[in-house]
Amino acid sequence: MHTYNINEVFTSFQGEGVHCGEQATFIRAQGCPVGCPWCDSGPNYHPDEPLYDAVGQRVEGVSHVPSAGNTWPGVGGAKMTEYDLCARIPTDIPRIVITGGEPALQDWDDFINCWESYVGHHRTVIALETSGQYEWRGSRWPDWVTVSPKWSGNPWHVEGVYWTYVDELKYVVDDRFDDSIVAEHLRQLRELCPQRGMPYIVLMPEGAPPNQGTTERTLSFLKKHHDWRAGPRLQYDWRVK
């Protein structure tokens, strides 16, 4: 049995990315050391605390970033086992999204195994959304992997293991984003995984709602790269979780 540190579990619809509009249950892991100043995903911010994972082991080599985007897995949230999580998820839900916070700070193998046993024959897509800045801790990979690189923390860094599994690269466009960042990420992917296809590229203008500047900046990149996608943020447009 594994103990997870969880911020919340709720059922809604996918508001962003390739699967926007699909109903899903979201498991929001507690804590994220990346530190995006526009973070909307955690009420418990403790930038002066050391960073611990869900089982109390200190995570070394992480610098504190003094912004409201820092949440720490050892502070706040609720302790839940894989069985607790499964009990909160509708068995007919088509999609489960493991998000955060930064879910890569916890090992999700026990939850994935438990859910597969829990639902029997029913097929649910288990999806991951991560910044990619931290190594994946488990041996089981979700069915769909979204990497959303960030300029905070270790700027735009993506651990190499994700290039084997990534299905979607999703970027928030503000004045720090440039299409050269995407080009570098795709170069890394081709170098490490030359046989695999390219992931979807999704751009979302920063802001809730986006301002004219970030919208125009996003459109300028999409006009240059016709195989990239514009990403809505329905949770803000519809004002729902």
Domain ranges of the chain: 3-200
Q: Is the pLDDT confidence value at 63 over 50?
A: no
The predicted model gives 206-222 an average pLDDT of 92
**pLDDT of the residue at 43:** 46
- Tell me, yes or no, if the pTM score tops 0.95: no
CA-to-CA distance for 99 and 11, rounded, in angstroms? 13
pLDDT at 50: 47
Bridge-based pairing state of the strands 125-130 and 95-99: parallel
- Average pLDDT of the residues in 81-88: 96
Exposure b/e, 99-115, CB count within 10 A at least 16 = b: bbbbbbbbbbebbbebb
CATH numeric code, 3-200: 3.20.20.70
Q: What is the pLDDT of residue 40?
A: 67
Burial class (CB in 10 A: 0-12, 13-18, 19+), 121: exposed
Residue 95 pLDDT: 96
Strands 168-173, 200-205: pairing is parallel
SS3 label, residue 99:
strand
Which residue from 133, 134, 169, 163 is spatially nearest to 151, judged by alpha carbons?
A: 133
Query: What digits encode the pLDDT tens for the residues 22-47?
Result: 999 999 998 887 877 777 665 433 44
Whether residue 105 has pLDDT greater than 50: yes
pLDDT tens readout for residues 130-178: 999 999 999 999 999 999 999 987 899 999 999 999 999 999 999 999 9
Percent of the chain whose predicted confidence (pLDDT) is above 90: 64
- List the single range of 20-34, 60-74, 76-90 with lowest mean pLDDT: 60-74
pLDDT at 10 over 80: yes
Question: Which run of H or E residues covers position 182?
Answer: helix 179-192
Least reliable range by pLDDT among 5-9, 31-35, 197-201: 31-35
pLDDT for 73: 47
Query: Where does the chain show beta strands of DSSP type E?
Result: 3-13, 23-29, 78-81, 95-99, 125-130, 144-147, 168-173, 200-205, 229-230
Considering the chain, what is the average pLDDT of its residues?
A: 85
Please, what's the b/e burial string for 12-26 (b: 16 or more CB within 10 A of its CB; e: otherwise)? ebbbbbbbbeeebbb
Q: Which pLDDT does position 66 carry in this prediction? A: 35
